[in-house]
Amino acid sequence: MKRIVKACLLVFFILLLAVGLLASRIYLYSNASSDGPSDAAIVLGAAVWGANVSPVFKERINHGIDLYRKGTVRKLIFTGGQGNPGEPTESSAARDYALQLGIPAGDILIEEKSHTTYENILYAKQLTDAHGLRKVHIVSDPLHMKRAVAMARDLGLVADPSPTPSTRYQGLRSQAGLLAHETYYYIGYLLRRPFVKVAHA
């Protein structure tokens, strides 16, 4: 009986160590950012509040617009479907916000079907393929970068990270909660990865 308990404890601590190492990799990757030029920025969707983008989404959109104005990207791809009945899709709300800030309509692409990070990127890739866009920046919150860029590269995109320079997730508790969330979902993606659509360039 003692041997079984010891074996279970050993397995538990090994799993705990593995999760801790993965969380540390996610945290360290949040600082990775590419300044090189690309064809488009894929701005990952977030919540819409009524007809307006949420503060978290606004941070992402503003960063994408900043990349566009600097000449780092030529196109903006906004992602995200409808969250609640009666609300606009996340991507259409983002487009409206960008248009109000003077971004030309011809340089904005949207997909309105996605509800998850993986779908954000999958449907955005359909747009990059249709418009001949080969290299992209992935725009999202810093702790979201590891999972999002992994998905993008698995789907065959030449993708670089471009996290928002500021985040609405402030404070130790908020950051720890988001890191735990990302670690959980990244583990889930790694487990599902052999069974999802993956393209190796």
Distance CA 20, CA 42 (A): 29
Question: Rounded mean pLDDT of 10-33?
Answer: 83
- Strand 52-53 relative to strand 75-78: parallel, antiparallel, unpaired? unpaired
Alpha-carbon distance 121 to 80, whole Å? 10
pLDDT tens-digit series, residues 76-127: 999 999 988 888 999 999 999 999 999 999 999 999 999 999 999 999 999 9
Q: What pLDDT, on the 0 to 100 scale, is given for residue 75? A: 98
Kindly report, residue by residue over 166-194, the tens digit of the pLDDT. 765 566 666 788 899 999 999 999 998 88
Quick one: the chain helix, strand, coil %, rounded to 5? Answer: 55, 15, 30
Place of tokens 């908020």: 174
Task: Give me the torsion for CA of 150, 156, 158, 160, rounded to 10°.
Answer: -10
Rounded Cα distance between 75 and 108, Å, is 6
pTM, two decimals, is: 0.88
